[in-house]
Amino acid sequence: MPGRRPLRFDPIAEAARQWDAHGWTPATPGMAAVTSVTRVAQLFHGRIDDVLKPFGLTFARFEVLALLSFTRTGALPLGKLGERLQVHAASVTNAVDRLEADGLVRRAPNPTDGRGTLAAITAKGRRLVARATPVLNEAVFAETGLSARELADLVRLLGKVRRSAGDYGVP
Nearest approach in angstroms of CB 67 to its own copies is 8
Which of its own copies, DNA, none binds 123 (CB below 5-8 Å, type-dependent)? Answer: none
Helix (H, G, I), strand (E, B), or coil: what is residue 121? strand
Q: Which of residues 66-125 bind its own copies (CB under 8 A)?
A: 70, 82-84, 86-88, 91
Element (DSSP H or E) covering residue 109: strand 105-109
Check binding of 74 to DNA (CB under 7 A).
no
Check binding of 60 to DNA (CB under 7 A).
yes
Nearest approach in angstroms of CB 20 to DNA is 26
Residues 6 or more apart whose CB falls under 8 angstroms from that of 69 comprise 121, 125, 126, 129, 130
Nearer to its own copies, 88 or 131 (CB): 88
Check binding of 135 to its own copies (CB under 8 A).
no
Which of DNA, its own copies, none binds 72 (CB below 5-8 Å, type-dependent)? Answer: none
Q: What is the DSSP string of 20-33?
A: HHTT-GGGHHHHHH
Element (DSSP H or E) covering residue 76: strand 75-77
Candidates 10-18, 25-33, 76-84, 145-153: pick the segment binding DNA (CB under 7 A).
Answer: 76-84
Helix (H, G, I), strand (E, B), or coil: what is residue 72? coil
Which of DNA, its own copies, none binds 118 (CB below 5-8 Å, type-dependent)? Answer: DNA
Nearest approach in angstroms of CB 108 to DNA is 10
Check binding of 151 to its own copies (CB under 8 A).
yes
d(CA 55, CA 49): 10
Which of 35, 69, 117, 144 is the binder for DNA (CB under 7 A)?
Answer: 117
d(CA 27, CA 16): 9
Using only C-alpha atoms, the chain has a radius of gyration, in whole angstroms, of 20
